[in-house]
């Protein structure tokens, strides 16, 4: 112990201390001023990031309140060395959960955990807090709603990570009371926050590759996410309760606790908030999990065959598909009652902090808003006519084509066409109401009568868009009234000529020419805005030149 501090100091150890959640725990322990922290991890030495150099960790390493120990949990002598003289151990080390390699996970999560327990007993460690996972009760098939700690381990696990984590958890619980060692397990659900090297980076990589537009499943599955500082705080709550002794410690010892932000949210809504916060589009296209599963099996098989040649770990695996499409929410009532856990950072604040910490992954800034985008006023109209939202544009085009064939080409009168359209809509709603809520693992969303009501917010948005378009028109008129913007005058004049030309045609012909012209004309103008404006400027100069020449001739005469 002399190598790590003087007598009287309280030391704890954090395994996997350079991992995502462990870094936050180390800093929280140091800020508490209650502990000196021994950081145990695989690296031969500790390499601090710039913000750590000047932060609490850098200061603690310099002052001796923190020390780094290179330790592989699979090598028992190294674990014994890391725990020598410590009072409490936070066992957070684990391999990347996305790598479905049973041998790797077993060697660390099971064999490594055995070494941790043996070292704690040999070194007379008083308390051992193990970072487990909610996946230890997840079979990959059945969703979990407000899961309690009384749930049994499944017969078959979703992946090797979950299976070996459960085995490690059993070892920790059975070790409680051996040689005075008190143990408990923390099961944090879906950790997120600054410093995460898996969730946000993989989301951004998918967005940049154009793969983030898809929703696996119906998109309604609720999830419990946990901000990383809340995870660190839960570990400290558990350790403090065990250290307090008495009835409280006896209640907590040998138990497992679910830890969440206590704010369930739809999984894909959470992902969308992160993507939108970083400037990317939210997922919109739903694909049934049953459709994705065969593809995921092929991807996983390909990885097994080619991983030895350097193929990176795929994001699309069967276990991942099941995780993304199932409901997973857990109750924190036991943790609140036994270890006095309450989230210290809300989901909203946690999301903001997370997004702010990944500004280097933001989408590249879009070039300046074009004039035509501004003139169109309404964002949805602009995105449709300018092909910004291709799905929305194609849907609108198909709708307009259907309207043409139904109302114009069919020869129906207006009243007959509307009556037939409403009868078809009534038939669709009636049949949709008869359908079951689930077909082939795909959830059918029922439409209540309120679905067709116009909310105050939507009404306000509609009126605002009309107001915005009107104000844009007024701005154009104001510019024309000044009599100086010849380029704008020529554009307005040509557009009105085109409108009058279309108005002189039969309505059916105007429809056939007008709507394609809208989708092509606005798009072409935005694409070649500078060239078109340049041509109008040249025309304006020529008109001014002719005007000047005519004025000179008039003066001479």
What residues act catalytically? 165
* CA-to-CA separations, 470 to 254, 379, 476, 483, in angstroms, rounded: 68, 14, 10, 21
CA distance 555 to 557: 5
With beta carbons less than 8 A apart as the criterion, state whether 330 and 187 touch.
yes
Backbone dihedral angles phi then psi of residue 330, each to the nearest 5 degrees: -135, 150
Give alpha helix (H) positions in 360-485: 371-376, 379-385, 390-403, 414-434, 456-481
CA distance 461 to 463: 6
| Contact residues for 18 (Cβ-Cβ < 8 A; gap 6+) | 39, 41, 43, 46
Q: What is the DSSP letter of 251?
A: H
* CA-to-CA separations, 273 to 6, 215, 437, in angstroms, rounded: 48, 14, 27
Describe the crossing of helices 56-63 and 20-31 by its angle, rounded to 10 degrees: 70
**Residue carrying the six token digits 């020449």:** 549
**Residue carrying the six token digits 């599955």:** 221
With beta carbons less than 8 A apart as the criterion, state whether 277 and 203 touch.
no
CA distance 300 to 322: 14
Helix (H, G, I), strand (E, B) or coil at 188: strand
With beta carbons less than 8 A apart as the criterion, state whether 292 and 214 touch.
no
How many H-runs (helices) and E-runs (strands) does the chain carry?
23, 17
| Contact residues for 164 (Cβ-Cβ < 8 A; gap 6+) | 102, 105, 106, 108, 109, 110
Nearest to 289 by CA among 329, 264, 318, 267: 318
Nearest to 199 by CA among 293, 265, 274: 274
How deeply is 383 buried, as exposed, middle or buried, from its count of CB atoms within 10 A (0-12, 13-18, 19+)?
A: middle
């Amino acid at each position: 112990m002399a190598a790590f501090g003087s007598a009287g100091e309280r030391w704890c150890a954090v395994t996997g201390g350079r991992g995502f959640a462990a870094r936050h725990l180390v800093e929280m322990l140091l800020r508490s001023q209650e502990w000196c922290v021994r950081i145990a991890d695989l690296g031969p030495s500790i390499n601090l990031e710039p913000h750590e150099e000047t932060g609490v960790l850098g200061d603690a390493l310099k002052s001796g309140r923190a020390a780094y120990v290179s330790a592989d949990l699979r090598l028992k002598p190294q674990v014994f060395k890391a725990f020598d003289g410590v009072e409490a151990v936070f066992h957070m080390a684990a391999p990347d959960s996305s790598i479905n390699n049973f041998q790797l996970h077993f060697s660390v999560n099971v064999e490594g955990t055995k070494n941790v327990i043996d070292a704690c007993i040999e070194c007379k460690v008083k308390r051992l807090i193990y970072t487990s996972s909610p996946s230890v009760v997840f079979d990959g098939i059945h969703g979990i709603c407000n899961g309690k700690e009384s749930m049994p381990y499944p017969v078959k696990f979703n992946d090797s990570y979950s299976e070996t984590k459960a085995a490690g958890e059993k070892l920790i619980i059975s070790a409680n009371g051996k040689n005075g060692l008190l143990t408990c397990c923390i099961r944090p659900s879906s950790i997120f926050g600054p410093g995460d090297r898996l969730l946000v980076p993989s989301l951004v990589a998918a967005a940049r590759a154009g793969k983030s537009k898809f929703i696996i499943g119906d998109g309604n599955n609720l999830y419990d996410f946990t901000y990383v500082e809340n995870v660190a705080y839960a570990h400290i709550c558990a350790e403090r309760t065990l250290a307090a002794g008495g009835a409280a410690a006896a209640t907590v010892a040998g138990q497992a606790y679910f830890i969440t932000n206590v704010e369930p949210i739809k999984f894909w809504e959470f992902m969308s908030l992160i993507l939108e916060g970083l400037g990317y589009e939210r997922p919109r296209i739903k694909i049934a999990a049953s459709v994705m599963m065969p593809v995921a099996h092929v991807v996983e098989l390909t990885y097994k065959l080619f991983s030895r040649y350097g193929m990176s770990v795929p994001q699309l695996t069967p276990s991942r598909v099941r995780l993304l499409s199932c409901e997973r929410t857990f109750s924190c009532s036991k943790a609140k009652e036994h270890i006095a856990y309450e989230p210290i950072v809300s989901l909203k604040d946690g999301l903001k902090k997370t997004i702010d910490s990944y500004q280097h992954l933001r989408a590249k800034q879009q070039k300046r808003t074009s004039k035509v985008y501004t003139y169109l006023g309404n964002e949805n109209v602009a995105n449709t006519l300018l092909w910004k939202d291709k799905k929305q544009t194609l849907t609108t085009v198909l709708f307009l084509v259907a309207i043409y064939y139904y109302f114009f080409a069919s020869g129906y009168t207006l009243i007959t066409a509307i009556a037939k359209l409403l009868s078809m809509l009534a038939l669709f709603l009636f049949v949709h109401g008869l359908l079951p809520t689930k077909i082939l693992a795909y959830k059918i969303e029922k439409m209540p009568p309120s679905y067709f009501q116009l909310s105050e917010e939507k009404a306000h948005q509609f009126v605002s868009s009309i107001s915005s378009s009107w104000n844009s028109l007024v701005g154009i008129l104001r510019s024309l009234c000044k009599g100086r913007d010849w380029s704008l005058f020529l554009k307005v004049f040509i557009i009105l000529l085109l409108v009058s030309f279309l108005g002189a045609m039969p309505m059916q012909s105007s429809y056939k020419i007008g709507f394609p012209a809208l989708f092509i004309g606005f798009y072409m103008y935005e694409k070649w805005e500078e060239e078109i404006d340049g041509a109008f400027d040249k025309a304006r100069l020529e008109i001014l030149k002719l005007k000047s020449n005519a004025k000179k001739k008039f003066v001479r005469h």
